[in-house]
Amino acid sequence: MTENEQPDFLDKLGIWLNPALILSMLAFIFAVWQWGLTRSELHTLRDETAQRLTEANKLAQQAQTMSLQATDSTRDMGIRIAELQTRLAESQSQQLALTELYRSMSAHRDEWTLTDIEQLLLTANQQLQLDGDVKAALIALQDADARLQAINRPQYTPLRRALNADMQRLQSLPPVDALGISFRLDNLIAQIDQLPLESDPEHPALHPPVIRPVLPMNRTQAFAQALWLEIKGLVQVRRLDTPDTALLLPEQSYFLRQNLKLRLLSAHIALSSHDQADFDTDLQAAKRWINHYFNRDDRATQHALAQIDELLRTPINIPTLNLDASLAALKASHLPVEP
């Protein structure tokens, strides 16, 4: 290289080494790199955008399909809801009709039940006052309370309270074994025909005949002995401890036994009505007749007298009872009650 060329090279080199030029070059290179990077990113973004748009289109198509299905479902649901509303309206109408029918039937049922209770209480009150039948009255009261319990109406609480009060009052009474006393009276009546009268001939077992040896007799002696036995049979001599003992003919003894049975039957009737005075009067009369007309030494007579004494010691009367409290409560329940 010559001396003239060397300065030119340096000048050119100085130009290329100019800082402004270097910065411009660097800026250009950076701009080119940035442009390439941006283009690459834009290309990538375009691809992603296209992919997302494709996916969005698919989703939109699916959403449109689902929207159509939802529209159809909504339309069907609306039709079904309209049908259900129609059925609901019909059901409500039927329910209202059934409710009205139930109320009507319930009112009639309560009325019928209270009418039955009225008949039960009136019948039980009559039996209680006429016959003193406590057991039948208790059964009637329990039945009436059970029917009211089945109704389960608050307005009938006072009536149930009155029924339970009458039941407790009847249950607190001393028991009277009317059935057992009736059986004893029947047995006593059945024994009347077997009781020996005081005027009856003495029983042969009490005085056994004396057995004498049989002697040989001719026909005349045998006839005379048989005639003597017949004559002895016409007349009997007996010892009576009481001089006022009545001597009765057979037909009179029959009427005596029948009258005695009637006295005991009268006591039976007094037992049914729980009339202590008539009961004792009839038994006392029967005892007096047995003591007067029948053989008191006989075991059957003694047993009959012992039975009468036991019956005389048995109370049969009960206080005057009624169901006025229950009937008053029934009347307060607005149910007509006959006096």
**What 3-state DSSP class applies to 197?**
strand
Q: Give the pLDDT confidence score for residue 216 in this predicted structure.
A: 59
Which of 1.20.1440, 1.10.1660, 2.40.128, 3.40.50 is the CATH number of 176-199+246-317?
A: 1.20.1440
Whose CA is closest to 125, among 287, 269, 323, 328? 323
Under 8 Å between Cβ of 271 and 280: no
Q: Give the pLDDT confidence score for residue 84 in this predicted structure.
A: 85
Amino acid at 42: L
Whose CA is closest to 322, among 175, 176, 166? 166
- How far apart are alpha carbons 46 and 54 in whole angstroms? 12
Q: Give the pLDDT confidence score for residue 282 in this predicted structure.
A: 92
Sequence length of the chain is: 339
Q: Give the pLDDT confidence score for residue 83 in this predicted structure.
A: 86
Q: Two tokens at 291?
A: 């003591």
- How far apart are alpha carbons 99 and 267 in whole angstroms? 60
- How far apart are alpha carbons 207 and 17 in whole angstroms? 188
Distance from first CA to last CA of the chain, Å, rounded? 163
Structural domain boundaries of the chain? 107-174+323-332, 176-199+246-317
Measuring CA to CA, how many Å separate 329 from each of 138, 160, 325? Answer: 17, 9, 6
Strand partners, 197: 294
H helical segments located in 131-213: 134-151, 157-171, 178-191
The pTM of the full predicted model, rounded to 2 decimals, is 0.44
Q: Give the pLDDT confidence score for residue 281 in this predicted structure.
A: 92
Q: Give the pLDDT confidence score for residue 204 in this predicted structure.
A: 45
Q: What is the pLDDT along the chain (339 residues), one digit of tens a residue?
A: 555 555 555 556 555 566 777 787 788 888 888 888 888 888 888 888 888 888 888 888 888 888 888 888 888 888 888 888 888 888 777 777 676 666 655 556 777 777 888 888 888 888 777 766 778 888 888 888 888 888 777 888 888 888 888 888 888 777 667 778 888 889 999 999 888 887 665 544 444 444 455 555 666 766 677 767 666 555 555 554 544 445 555 667 888 889 999 999 998 888 877 788 888 999 999 999 999 888 888 898 999 999 999 988 888 876 667 788 888 888 887 644 443
- How far apart are alpha carbons 247 and 238 in whole angstroms? 12
Q: Give the pLDDT confidence score for residue 335 in this predicted structure.
A: 46
Q: Give the pLDDT confidence score for residue 329 in this predicted structure.
A: 84
Q: Give the pLDDT confidence score for residue 44 in this predicted structure.
A: 85
Under 8 Å between Cβ of 301 and 196: yes
Q: Two tokens at 217?
A: 């007799």
Strand partners, 294: 197
Q: Give the pLDDT confidence score for residue 26 in this predicted structure.
A: 82
Q: Give the pLDDT confidence score for residue 243 in this predicted structure.
A: 46
Cα dihedral: 242, 246, 250, 251 (round 10): -160
